[in-house]
Structure 1
Amino acid sequence: MPSELPLHSVSVTGVVVRGDGRVLAIKRADDGRWVPPGGVLELDESPEAGVAREVFEETGVRAEAEVLTGVYKNMARGVVTLAFRCRPVGGTGRATEEASEVAWLTLDEVGARMVEARAVRVLDALRAGGPFVRVHDGTRVR
């Protein structure tokens, strides 16, 4: 009997924080938005392995997940994202097929360049009391 339930997609986001407090970000090649790197979790990988893979594929930076900092659901698209605070362990940032630019942003730059639904993932990764659970519409947190 086929399920009538809607399907959800699970994604991961890597909030990669350098020792100086700057955060790794990409300017998406498809829509020009600044976001922390991430993407769809593959069926055969753990969330930690998936976030490391996505960060590397999108930026050339090798990262290691340290802690789950938030769970975010895009209510309009049915995407659930697991965000991890990560530390860089190698590589250098470079543009890729998915990222027209890669930069290490200050928190002020995160607030200025990222839409609220993406910036909150960075801010949550740096505050105590998580992991946080939030819903959004792709742009604004509800």
Structure 2
Amino acid sequence: MSRKDYFNDDAAPKANSVVPSVTAVVRNTDGLLLLIHKTDNDLWALPGGGHDIGESIAETVAREVMEETGISVSVDGISGLYTDPRHVMAYDDGEVRQQFSICFRAHPVGGSIRTSDESKEVRWVSPTDLDELDIHPSMRLRIAHGLDLSRTAPYIG
């Protein structure tokens, strides 16, 4: 299913759903960041996805990162809560979802990189190389907050 992101766009369609979701800022011991090249919008992003009934939010993070990247992670904490009603995602099935995402910091504990139906490429990226990748502004914000270890409280916005 394809998707188009609207961010602070007056021409955006009105949201008709909200789905709690997660993203994860995963860094390895070399300081590299785990990113996926998404199949639905052709952009680079943090791994993540929707929260399922019957799992804790930390289990959602671990499941989504594993599903999309092949990497097992342990959650370290929350770096931000993103609920901006001016960020919506329009899917080709008619769903227009308002953003509701909790971004976590996590570290790898096993696994090996692989792609999935949602990720056509998975890569460990140096934070200094992020400008070379096509990343949505809302995802760049999450990445910046997740990489800023001087932040003692999560971003809420």
Q: Which residue in 2 is equivalent to 1:138?
A: none
Q: Which residue in 2 is equivalent to 1:81?
A: 101
The percentage of counterpart residues that share the same residue type is 33
> Which residue of 122, 126, 137 maps to 1:116?
137
Q: Which residue in 1 is equivalent to 2:67?
A: 57
Q: Which residue in 2 is equivalent to 1:131?
A: 154
More RCO (CA 8 Å, sep 6+): 2
Task: Give, as a single letter, the amino acid of the residue that structure 2 aligns with 1:31.
Answer: N
Aligned-residue RMSD, C-alpha: 1.5
Q: Which residue in 2 is equivalent to 1:10?
A: 20
2:55 counterpart SS class:
coil
Corresponding position: 1:29 with 2:39:
yes
TM-score normalised by structure 1 residue count: 0.84
Shift of 1:7: 5.1
TM-score normalised by structure 2 residue count: 0.77
Over 6 Å off, 4+ runs: none
Q: Which residue in 1 is equivalent to 2:77?
A: 67
Unaligned runs of 5+ in 2: 1-15, 89-96
Task: Give, as a single letter, the amino acid of the residue that structure 2 aligns with 1:106.
Answer: S
User: Measured at CA, do residues 31 and 24 of structure 1 come closer, stay the same or move farther in structure 2, by a change above 3 Å?
Assistant: same
Distance 2:52 2:139 in 1: 21
Unaligned runs of 5+ in 1: 1-5, 135-142
Shift of 1:105: 0.9
Q: Which stretch of the first structure deviates more once superposed, 119-128 or 47-56?
A: 119-128
Distance 2:154 2:132 in 1: 24
Query: How many residues are matched?
Result: 129
Give a deviation string over 1:66-111, Cα, whole Å, max 9, x none.
0011001242332210010000000111111110000011113234
Distance 1:107 1:116 in 2: 15
Give a deviation string over 1:38-92, Cα, whole Å, max 9, x none.
0001121111110000000000000111001100124233221001000000011
User: Do 1:111 and 1:119's aligned partners in 2 also have CA atoms closer than 8 Å?
Assistant: no
Give a deviation string over 1:9-44, Cα, whole Å, max 9, x none.
100001111111110000011221100000001121
